[in-house]
A and B are shown apart, each in its own frame.
Chain A
Amino acid sequence: MVLENENSPIVQRSVELDASVEEVWCSITEADHLREWFAPEVELDVIAGGAGHFVDDDGVARTAVVEDICLGERLSFRWWPDESGPVGSTVVTLVVAPRPGGTRLFVTERALTAVASAASRRSWTWRLDLLLLHTGLFVRA
């Protein structure tokens, strides 16, 4: 595994949209628009340091803080599940770029060191469980 601290886990996606940069920018910054695709419940104050709150389809609630914004181009926020608190935070960056006949939206979500180390601690727990399972000394509840 090469997913250790300095090489933090990352999710990257991009999508080509049949829409103008302005339309896509509205989709990623206005709560009314975000509710239609991002999450059923959205509050977001789109200014640097602005607060946000999202509730996903599966009921997971997240709190967010806008880290960086460049109007019409880039929005970056840090968010974390309310359940885990800021220690579980990841940083989402959305970049909007014009393309012939449309717009491309780039998404990056990066887990921070704290998450990565929490994750590797968890993985050691799993490995230990598995080891014990293999040796027949442990039965998971």
Chain B
Amino acid sequence: VTAGALDGIFAALSDPTRRALLERLTRGPDTATNLVGDLPMSRQAVVKHLQVLADAGLVQAERHGREVRYAPTPASLDGAVDWMVRAGAAWDARLNRLRARFEKQPSP
């Protein structure tokens, strides 16, 4: 995994809807239409989110006859990437709080 690819993964997973979609797909590949049923958003919005996940290499579209099923790629479920994504998100949150702490203080 290159730094650029990791940036793409982080960017794709920065959105809670996309995290929910990926989590949903780990229970089994499914079509955008079926996914819409689980989410309060349009099919178009779901497809857009799936495209972002696909561009980051986290899911892939598989054509089955007339329907397109989305499946998480095995690499996206690698424990190391999973750890990096979660540990990275935790540090982003901590460092944002730290930065905010010093921003609140008026400069002397």
Q: Give the residues in chain A near B99, CB-CB below 8 Å.
A: 15, 17
Q: Given A18-B103, A23-B102, A115-B83, A13 and B1 touching (CB < 8 A)?
A: no
Q: Output the least CB separation between B89 and chain A (Å).
A: 9
Count B-side interface residues using an 8 Å CB cutoff. 33
Contact assessment for B77 and A17 in the assembled complex, using a CB-CB cutoff below 8 Å: no
The answer, yes or no, to whether A10 is at the interface (CB within 8 Å) is: yes
Task: Report whether B80 and A123 are in contact in the complex, using a CB–CB cutoff of 8 Å.
Answer: yes
Q: How far is the CA of A22 from the CA of B11 in the complex (A)?
A: 33
A126 touches B74 (CB 8 A): yes
Chain A interface helix/strand/loop/mixed = mixed
Tell me if A18 and B91 are in contact (CB < 8 A): no
A interface residues (Cβ-Cβ under 8 A, vs B): 1-3, 9-11, 13, 15, 17-19, 23, 27, 36-39, 56-57, 90, 105, 107, 109, 111, 115-116, 118-123, 126-127, 130, 133-134, 140
